[in-house]
Amino acid sequence: MNDIITTILNHRSIRNFEDKPLTDEQIKAIVLSAQAASTSSYIQAYSIIGVKDQEKKQKLAELAGNQDYVEKNGHFFVFCADLYRHSIIGKEEQKVVNPSIESTEKFMVGLIDASLAAQNAAIAAESLGLGICYIGGIRNNLEEVKKLLKTPDRVIPLFGLAVGYPAKMTEQKPRLSFEHIYHENEYEQDMAIYLQQLREYDELISNYYEQRTGGKRKDRWTAQMAQMLEKQSRMYMKEFIQKNKLDLR
């Protein structure tokens, strides 16, 4: 164990920030950290949009389902998969690159590149004593987000990252067991073991909620997940991505 692993293990999402903006130096350290992440074949298929404009932040908060920590934080980053750059390069270099850019493979590369960069940004921010919260809610209405951030085709805003000085700490939610997430040599083939691990996790989670709420709440994780997934959400996504000329072939 060391300070870095301690920082990583100490992560919790912060949803309450002090009214204190990040300095330009902090923003730069966070973005350079993001850029230091690995990138598939040096492709760097992502962009980061930092939103300072208060009106835009307010609009983003609405679009993300009225989450006020999208508006009230030290800085708000939007991480985007970005193959637009490469499409422009194709034109400049007079090479036919768009069939490749429009493949599911390259869509995946954009998502992976952007996410690796984002997690570096998150860890860098936390190492500076700041708190972070990922905001998947911006995917509620990407058409509007796209207009707001003026992103061209082949750029997909994936998630926000709210960063700031924590005003209220939150508790950590226990994760699935190490044994359930981590498989050795092959994926777990024994369904009895697999289901038993889920049952044990359910017990852990339901005790966790019970203790936190003084007995008022006692959800199981699997019930939460089934309930959440029963509702179909953001089903417009395929059409949106393809309209933006990615994941087409």
Which parts of 148-187 interact with a copy of itself (CB under 8 A)?
148-152, 155, 158-159, 173, 175-176, 178, 181-187
Q: Say which DSSP state 42 is in.
A: G
Dist. CA 242–CA 235, nearest whole Å: 13
> b/e for 187-199, b at 16 or more Cβ within 10 A?
eeeeeeeeeebbe
Among 16, 18, 21, 50, binds a copy of itself (CB under 8 A): 50
Among 2, 190, 192, 214, binds a copy of itself (CB under 8 A): 2
105 binds a copy of itself (CB under 8 A): yes
| Amino acid symbol at 142 | L
Among 15, 17, 22, 47, binds a copy of itself (CB under 8 A): 47
| Amino acid symbol at 244 | N
Among 19, 23, 28, 169, binds a copy of itself (CB under 8 A): 28
Q: Is 47 helix (H, G, I), strand (E, B) or coil?
A: strand
190 binds a copy of itself (CB under 8 A): no
Q: Tell me whether residue 72 or residue 148 sits nearer to a copy of itself (CB atom).
A: 148
Please state, as a whole number, how many other Cβ atoms lie within 10 Å of the Cβ of residue 37.
18
C-alpha pair distances (Å), 114 with each of 65, 73, 99, 175, 177: 23, 22, 21, 23, 27
Q: Tell me whether residue 211 or residue 233 sits nearer to a copy of itself (CB atom).
A: 233
Dist. CA 117–CA 126, nearest whole Å: 14
Among 20, 52, 168, 212, binds a copy of itself (CB under 8 A): 52
16 binds a copy of itself (CB under 8 A): no
Of the candidates 156, 162, 120, 129, the residue with the CA atom closest to the CA atom of residue 239: 156
130 binds a copy of itself (CB under 8 A): no
216 binds a copy of itself (CB under 8 A): no
Question: In degrees rounded to 5, what are phi and psi of residue 80?
Answer: -125, 140
14 binds a copy of itself (CB under 8 A): no
Task: Tell me how far, at minimum, the Cβ of 207 lies from a copy of itself, in Å.
Answer: 16
Task: Tell me how far, at minimum, the Cβ of 116 lies from a copy of itself, in Å.
Answer: 5
Find tokens 């691990």 and name the residue: 197
Q: Say which DSSP state 151 is in.
A: -
Stretch that binds a copy of itself, among 63-71, 129-137, 163-171, 206-214 (CB under 8 A): 129-137
36 binds a copy of itself (CB under 8 A): yes
Task: Tell me how far, at minimum, the Cβ of 206 lies from a copy of itself, in Å.
Answer: 14
